[in-house]
Amino acid sequence: MKHLISLGVALIALACLFAALQPNFLTASNSVNVLEQITINSLLAFGMTFVILTGGIDLSVGSVVAFAGMTSVFFAAETGSFSVGVAAGIAAALGIGALNGGLVAFARLPPFIVTLGTMSIARGLAYVYTWENWGEPLYIDESQELFRSLANYQVVFLLVFFVTALVLLHFTRFGHYTYAVGGNREAARFTGISVRRTEFSVYLLTGGLAGAAGVLNASLLWSADPSAGHMYELNAIAAVVVGGTSFTGGVGNLVGTLIGAVLLGVLSNGLNLLNVHFSTQYMVKGMVIILAVLLDALRRRGRGND
């Protein structure tokens, strides 16, 4: 609770700072813009929260956004069906999630190495759709009006996915298992929890959320680009760790993740309004991640000394 209060205070202070430096920051249009900008990262961060709570990591989500987007636009165009396109995009993402989960949970391979590999696989699969025109985006046809308008409801999707993930993590047996596996894997196994099934499920869930993010991203841009999602995994991890989820697993919550995503969105938006060069923005985000991990380490040491 203390960390959530601290995050809220930091968010308000940051907003006040940017409002003082840039009058356009607090306009209604810019506030809506911030909310729309954080939707994609929030969906990825929700899934990443589950993975990190088990002590894992998923570096493939950015590439999965591109793969799911390309798949959804391709199949929507080929079949003329918006629903088929969306289903295909999410199914493709679930396939990568299942591959990650299977290799981590059942083959017992390190999550970092597995998802580093599937990051390249998913990116390569995204480029397969542009085999004849290497690297060219796929555009959503004007006849696919429903697909194009999907992004108009980004904030609604953000709230729906947040509430669903919140209930799943904090009010279901699966959520309790997720915390238990990250807190003490051996103790969880002795209490009858299927550690492997839980690990597999969190990677599958993360893949599905990355797929939804990919479909929304394509709708927002009216196109799918095989190079989309670059560094999105960094933003998602940043939101999770800033939100208070521990890299060691077992500690964290989705409310903190959402506040972390909003804080990072406000930071990016404010820096853009101030015309700060993108290279500096990357460095700032990197420093924010390091600071968040440092604070987490200090909190754990403090609990250990109690």
Neighbours of 130 (CB within 10 A): 17
pTM: 0.92
- Provide the residue type at 92 as one letter: A
Report pLDDT digits (tens) over 54-83.
999 999 999 999 999 999 999 999 998 999
Please, which residues bridge with residue 139 across strands?
223
* 159: its two tokens: 């709230």
Q: Is residue 14 pLDDT above 60, yes or no?
A: yes
Residue 3: what pLDDT? 72
Among 93-107, 191-205, 237-251, name the one with the lowest average pLDDT.
Answer: 237-251
Report pLDDT digits (tens) over 113-156.
999 999 999 999 999 998 777 778 999 988 888 999 998 898 89
Compute the distance between CA of residue 155 and CA of residue 161 in angstroms, rounded to an integer.
Answer: 10
CB-neighbour burial class of residue 194 (10 A; exposed 0-12, middle 13-18, buried 19+) = middle
**With DSSP H G I counted as helix, E B as strand and the rest as coil, what are the percentages for the chain, rounded to 5?**
80, 0, 20
Residue 303: what pLDDT? 60
DSSP 135: T
Q: Is residue 217 pLDDT above 70, yes or no?
A: yes
Coil, helix or strand at residue 208: helix
Computed over every residue of the chain, the mean pLDDT equals: 91
Coil, helix or strand at residue 1: coil
Neighbours of 299 (CB within 10 A): 15
Q: DSSP of 50-87, one letter per residue?
A: HHHHTT-----HHHHHHHHHHHHHHHHHHHS-HHHHHH
* Domain boundaries of the chain, sorted by first residue: 40-292
For residues 270-280, give the mean pLDDT: 89
